[in-house]
């Protein structure tokens, strides 16, 4: 059986072209999935070994040229990955797309129904053209997390207990070796969560050890995977409260759920930290994240300026409009999985041009309409 990356990519494209045909019956869809599962079980060991060997020789911080396109969380949504491919590197309508670099910012697995397919698809791209495709590690590319979410269960369901466990381990061996940071065009810091509090130079990040099975044992690695900008501090259920407070010009409001204390806005926390010369806040949302820190606009500016960088592009959060610009325009959060957990969100990517210009691009609007790239951009 042909286990080359080119053959694997052709099978993945064939699968997506058949599986997502509107009106396909459940029986046909099940048969298409079963054929792919048998193929994936046969080719994954060799694919993962090739990718592991290459990744083991690379540092935790890599440099990427321009033009470059940056993509956020995919989370098991192989249809979105297929649509991205059709709009970009498989799009013959724009020459620039054929020579561009592509960076994925992590969180390939869990929550969606096709984590295995997404992982194999991306690893095959990385194996086929390592100079063009860079995969960064997200917090879900960690065994402890994806074993307790859906990736481990999906592997066992699709391949059986023994083979499923083996495939889960083989793919995670690749995840253990993924870089944490990419510097794009010598000016854009790319990672999953954000700059770490426990390391301040790029040299320190370059030397984070690999393979790294347990990032929580290396504070800088854990923070890169988990940190959030302070503008994100409201939990999803409290976003409406935050919006109402901003509209009223409030920074503090009575917490009517707890019956005591106050809600505080991101602006209130920013003001408090700035007034006290602080840059990071321990994660008060630990019921959701459980780890990591919030970083202020001042923290981002200090980190980027100290390392001669202009922008931070990160993923890690679902954004209803596909992307969000914060910290005075220096931070862009991008998300590339449509209708994530039923949130009806748009998807986006970020383009970095050869002259260092950076711009977000909406890929699918909230109605699911795909924006196709053309000669006019």
pLDDT at residue 264, as a whole number: 55
pLDDT at residue 183, as a whole number: 98
Q: Within the chain, which residues score under 50 in pLDDT?
A: 235-242, 245, 251-263, 283-288, 373-377
From 139, 79, 149, select the one nearest 105 (Cα to Cα): 139
φ, ψ of residue 332 in degrees (nearest 5): -120, 125
**What residues does 190 pair with on adjacent strands?**
182, 313
Q: Which residues contact 312 (CB under 8 A, 6 or more apart)?
A: 188, 189, 190, 191, 194, 195, 300, 303, 304, 327, 330, 331, 332
Query: Which ranges in the chain belong to alpha helices (H)?
Result: 5-19, 26-56, 78-87, 95-99, 115-128, 143-148, 151-159, 161-175, 202-206, 219-226, 239-247, 266-275, 297-306
- Between the two ends of the chain, the Cα-to-Cα distance in Å is 39
Contact 352, 67 (CB under 8 A): yes
pLDDT at residue 370, as a whole number: 67
**How long a stretch of residues is the chain?**
377
C-alpha span between 197 and 230 (Å, rounded): 13
pLDDT tens-digit series, residues 175-213: 999 999 999 999 999 999 999 988 999 999 999 999 999
pLDDT at residue 258, as a whole number: 40
Using the CB atoms, write b or e for 302-329: b if 16+ within 10 Å: ebbeeeebebbbbbbbbbeebbbebbee
DSSP state of 196: -
C-alpha span between 273 and 254 (Å, rounded): 21
pLDDT at residue 375, as a whole number: 35
C-alpha span between 311 and 250 (Å, rounded): 30
CB atoms within 10 A of CB 16: 22
Query: What is the pTM (predicted TM-score) of this model?
Result: 0.86
Domain boundaries, the chain: 5-231+291-364, 234-284
User: Strand pairing of 311-314 and 331-334?
Assistant: parallel
**Beta strands across the sheet bearing 181-184:** 61-64, 181-184, 188-190, 311-314, 331-334, 323-326
Fold of 5-231+291-364: Purple Acid Phosphatase; chain A, domain 2 (3.60.21)
pLDDT at residue 255, as a whole number: 41
pLDDT at residue 120, as a whole number: 99
From 195, 114, 126, 191, select the one nearest 155 (Cα to Cα): 114
Burial of 172 (0-12, 13-18, 19+ CB in 10 A): buried
From 247, 16, 190, select the one nearest 117 (Cα to Cα): 16
């Amino acid at each position: 059986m042909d286990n080359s990356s080119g053959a694997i990519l052709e099978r993945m494209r064939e699968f997506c072209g058949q599986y997502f045909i509107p009106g396909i019956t459940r029986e046909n869809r099940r048969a298409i999935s079963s054929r792919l599962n048998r193929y994936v079980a046969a080719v994954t060991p060799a694919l993962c070994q090739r990718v592991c060997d290459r990744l083991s020789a690379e540092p935790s911080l890599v440099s990427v040229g321009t033009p470059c396109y940056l993509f956020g969380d995919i989370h098991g949504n192989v249809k979105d990955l297929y649509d991205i491919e059709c709009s970009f590197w498989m799009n013959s309508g724009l020459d620039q797309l054929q020579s561009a670099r592509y960076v994925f910012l992590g969180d390939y697995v869990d929550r969606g129904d096709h984590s295995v397919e997404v992982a194999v698809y991306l690893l095959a791209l990385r194996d086929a053209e390592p100079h063009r495709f860079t995969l960064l590690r997200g917090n879900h590319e960690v065994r402890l997390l994806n074993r307790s979410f859906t990736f481990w269960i999906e592997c066992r369901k699709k391949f059986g207990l023994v083979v499923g466990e083996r495939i889960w381990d083989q793919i995670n061996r690749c995840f253990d070796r993924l870089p944490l940071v990419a510097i794009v065009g010598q000016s854009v810091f790319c990672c999953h969560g954000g700059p770490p509090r426990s390391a301040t130079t790029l040299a320190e990040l370059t030397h984070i050890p690999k393979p790294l099975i347990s990032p929580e044992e290396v504070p800088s690695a854990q923070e890169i995977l988990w940190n959030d900008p302070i503008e994100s501090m409201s939990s999803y259920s409290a976003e409406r409260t935050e919006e109402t407070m901003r509209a009223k010009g409030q920074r503090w409001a009575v917490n009517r759920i707890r019956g005591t204390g106050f809600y505080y806005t991101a602006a209130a926390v920013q003001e408090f930290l700035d007034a006290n010369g602080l840059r990071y806040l321990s994660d008060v949302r630990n019921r959701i994240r459980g780890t990591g820190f919030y970083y202020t606009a001042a923290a981002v500016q200090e980190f980027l300026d100290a390392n001669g960088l202009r922008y931070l592009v990160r993923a890690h959060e679902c954004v209803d409009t596909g992307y969000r610009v914060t910290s005075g325009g220096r931070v862009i959060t991008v998300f590339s999985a449509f209708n994530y957990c039923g949130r009806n969100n748009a998807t986006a990517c970020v383009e970095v041009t050869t002259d260092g210009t950076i711009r977000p691009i909406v890929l699918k609007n909230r109605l699911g309409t795909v924006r196709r790239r053309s000669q006019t951009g």
